[in-house]
Amino acid sequence: QSDDLRAVAHHAHRIKGTARTVAAQALGAVCERIEQAAKSGKRSEALRFKPDLERESGRLATYLESLDL
């Protein structure tokens, strides 16, 4: 389980940085909460943010799809 939480913290950290780079601040904030919970060994707390992660990821995806690139 600790390896899983370590992986969650790692990926949340990476997504947080990328989100902030593209000004997706809400997604970055959710990832920060997940990262901190995972680093603290709080699996259930990290999982509690899954709906927020899905919502904010969806918002970013919708925005990116709307761009005329």
Q: What is the pLDDT of residue 19?
A: 97
Q: pTM to 2 decimals?
A: 0.91
Q: What is the pLDDT of residue 25?
A: 98
24: Cβ contacts below 8 Å, ≥ 6 apart: 56, 59, 60
Q: What is the pLDDT of residue 68?
A: 86
> Is pLDDT above 80 for 1?
no
DSSP string for 12-34: HHHHHHHHHHTT-HHHHHHHHHH
**% of the chain at pLDDT higher than 70:** 99
- 30-61: per-residue pLDDT in tens? 999 999 999 999 999 999 999 999 999 999 99
